Structure 1
Amino acid sequence: MRNASFYAGLKLGLPIMIGYIPLGFAFGVLAVKNGMDAFWAVMLSVFVFAGAGQFIAVSMLGAGASFLSIGAANFLVNLRHVLMSAALVLPWKHLPFSWKIFLSYFQTDEIFAANISYHKSGGEVTVTQVLTLALVAQSGWILGTFLGAVSGGLISNVEALGLDFALPAMFTALLVPLLVDRIQIIVCLTGAVLSLCFMEAGFDRWSIIFATLLSASLGLYLSLQKEKN
Structure 2
Amino acid sequence: MEKVKYETFREGVQACLPTVLGYAGIGIAAGIVGKSVGLSVFHVAMMSILIYAGSAQFIICGMLAIQAPVSAIILTTFLINLRHFLMSMSVASFFKKESLITNIGIGSLLTDESYGVLMTAISNEHKISSNWTHGLNITAYLAWILSTVGGALLGNWIPDPYMLGLDFALVAMFAGLFVLQVDTAIKKKTKQTLLVIFSVCISIFISMKFFSSELAVLIATLIGCGVGVTVSHDE
TM-score normalised per structure 2: 0.87
Structure 2: runs of 5+ lacking an equivalent: none
Corresponding position of 2:29: 26
2:213 corresponds to 1:210:
no
**Partners of 1:4 and 1:207 in 2: how far apart?**
36
2:194 corresponds to 1:185:
yes
Partner SS, residue 91 of structure 1: helix
Corresponding position of 1:76: 79
* CA separation of 1:18 and 1:167: change in aligned 2, threshold 3 A: closer
Q: Is the 8 A contact 2:7 2:128 kept in 1?
A: no
One-letter code aligned to 2:60: A
TM-score normalised per structure 1: 0.89
**Partners of 1:189 and 1:196 in 2: how far apart?**
11
One-letter code aligned to 1:13: C
Structure 1: runs of 5+ lacking an equivalent: none
Partner SS, residue 149 of structure 2: helix
1:170 to 170, 173, 189: 173
Cα drift, residue 132 of structure 1: 0.9
Q: Is the 8 A contact 1:91 1:116 kept in 2?
A: no
**Partners of 1:170 and 1:74 in 2: how far apart?**
23
**Partners of 1:177 and 1:3 in 2: how far apart?**
17
| 57-66 or 164-173: bigger deviation | 164-173
**Partners of 2:106 and 2:163 in 1: how far apart?**
36
**Partners of 1:157 and 1:33 in 2: how far apart?**
9
Cα drift, residue 4 of structure 1: 4.8
Partner SS, residue 154 of structure 1: coil
2:89 corresponds to 1:86:
yes
Partner SS, residue 97 of structure 2: coil
Q: How many residues align?
A: 224
Corresponding position of 1:44: 47
Cα drift, residue 166 of structure 1: 3.0
Partner SS, residue 86 of structure 1: helix
**Partners of 1:114 and 1:87 in 2: how far apart?**
14
Q: Is the 8 A contact 2:21 2:169 kept in 1?
A: no
* CA separation of 1:124 and 1:5: change in aligned 2, threshold 3 A: farther
One-letter code aligned to 1:166: A
Identical aligned residues as a percent: 29
Q: Is the 8 A contact 1:17 1:138 kept in 2?
A: no
2:153 to 134, 150, 153: 150
